[in-house]
């Protein structure tokens, strides 16, 4: 499904070159759940943005279902079936939760009336009451946890083939965390071909994974079955 080959990402800082991702290669198969973990600043979000097309590779290739998509922009990648849930949700002035979820569930095609039932269902999945939230503006009048759940709902709405969640648990309380686990389990059951990548530090999420990638200083330090990874991380602690 997804293959990342020798991916590097560099930025210029003054006259120096900062290497943020250094020759990263891995792949994700259909139906797989892969967790990417690693210390803050190790490049996890950058990697996700490179796959979604928000940032551009300095070197390497991104291959989706056999096709090199390295030069495609994020609209094209979205339409090819990639969905990305941001670590830090974006604020909008004026756009409502309803607007965002409608855009997400119609994926750029023209709206064909209200798909209210679908949109409400999405909110309930992430534990938000649709009556209370649909017409709220997506701005800082919503709490961090609420914004995060709306962000996750917007990505579930896409019914994508490859879904990347960037620290979905951040800012979310225990009750919604259980809900979140349910959401992932449901996705796997309902779309067995869907590949899921979750950037996370949570043991419970890692336990669900088929494989775990450990990123350190922009390099892959470990790539293997979940059990081995957990054991290794316990040992190195």
Partner 1 sequence: MMDLDKIERDLMREVSGVTGIPEGAYNFRVNGKSIGRHSSDKIDIIPKRGKSGIDIRIANNTRGEIAHIPVIISASGLKEAVYNDFYIGDNCEVTIIAGCGIYNCGADDSIHDGIHTFYVGKNSTVYYIEKHCGIGPGAGKILNPTTKLFLSEGSRAELLMEQIKGVDSAKRLTEAELKKDAQVVIKERLFTHGKQLAESKIVANLLGDNSSVDIVSRAVARDYSVQDFSSHIIGKAKCWGHSECDAIIMDNARVNAEPALDAQNIDAELIHEAAIGKIANDQLMKLMTLGLSRRQAEAQIINGFLK
Binding site for partner 1 (CB under 8 A): 52-54, 73-75, 77-79, 82-84, 86, 90-96, 99-100, 103-104, 107-108, 154, 158
Q: β-strands 59-64, 2-13: how paired?
A: antiparallel
Q: How far is the CB of 151 from ligand ADP (least distance, A)?
A: 15
- Which residues here bind ligand ADP, judged by CB under 6 A? 11, 20, 38, 40-46
Q: Shortest gap between Cβ of 90 and ligand ADP (angstroms)? A: 15
Cβ at position 120, least distance to ligand ADP in Å: 32
Residue number, 68 or 73, with CB nearest to partner 1: 73
In this complex, which beta carbon is closest to partner 1, that of residue 79 or of residue 216? Answer: 79
Q: Work out what residue 127 binds among partner 1, ligand ADP, Mg ion, none; the CB cut-off runs from 5 to 8 Å by kind.
A: none
Q: Which does 211 bind (CB under 5 to 8 A by kind): Mg ion, partner 1, ligand ADP, none?
A: none
Q: How far is the CB of 118 from ligand ADP (least distance, A)?
A: 31
- Tokens 């040992």 correspond to 235
| Residue 40, contacted partner among Mg ion, ligand ADP, partner 1, none, CB below 5-8 A by kind | ligand ADP
Residues 6+ apart with CB under 8 A from 193: 30, 31, 161
Q: Which one of residues 2, 4, 28, 45 is an interface residue with Mg ion (CB under 5 A)?
A: 45
């Amino acid at each position: 499904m997804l293959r990342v080959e020798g991916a590097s990402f560099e930025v210029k800082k003054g006259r120096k070159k900062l290497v943020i991702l250094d020759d990263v290669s891995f792949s994700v198969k259909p139906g797989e759940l892969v967790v990417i973990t690693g210390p803050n600043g190790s490049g996890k979000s950058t990697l996700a943005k490179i796959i979604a097309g928000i940032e551009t590779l300095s070197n390497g290739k991104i291959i989706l279902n056999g096709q090199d998509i390295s030069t495609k922009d994020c609209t094209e990648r979205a339409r090819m079936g990639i969905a990305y849930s941001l670590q830090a949700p974006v604020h909008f002035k004026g756009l409502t939760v309803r607007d965002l979820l409608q855009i997400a569930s119609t994926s750029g095609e023209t709206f064909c009336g209200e798909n209210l039932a679908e949109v409400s269902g999405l909110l309930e999945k992430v534990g938000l009451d649709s009556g209370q939230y649909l017409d709220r503006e997506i701005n800082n009048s919503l709490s961090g946890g609420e914004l995060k759940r709306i962000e996750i709902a917007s990505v579930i709405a896409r019914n994508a083939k490859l879904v990347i969640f960037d620290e979905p648990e951040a800012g979310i309380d225990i009750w919604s965390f259980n809900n979140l686990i349910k959401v992932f389990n449901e996705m796997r059951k309902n779309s067995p071909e869907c590949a899921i990548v979750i950037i996370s530090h949570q043991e419970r999420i890692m336990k669900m994974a088929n494989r775990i990638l450990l990123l350190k200083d922009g390099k892959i330090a470990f790539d293997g079955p979940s059990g081995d990874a957990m054991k290794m991380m316990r040992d190195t602690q």
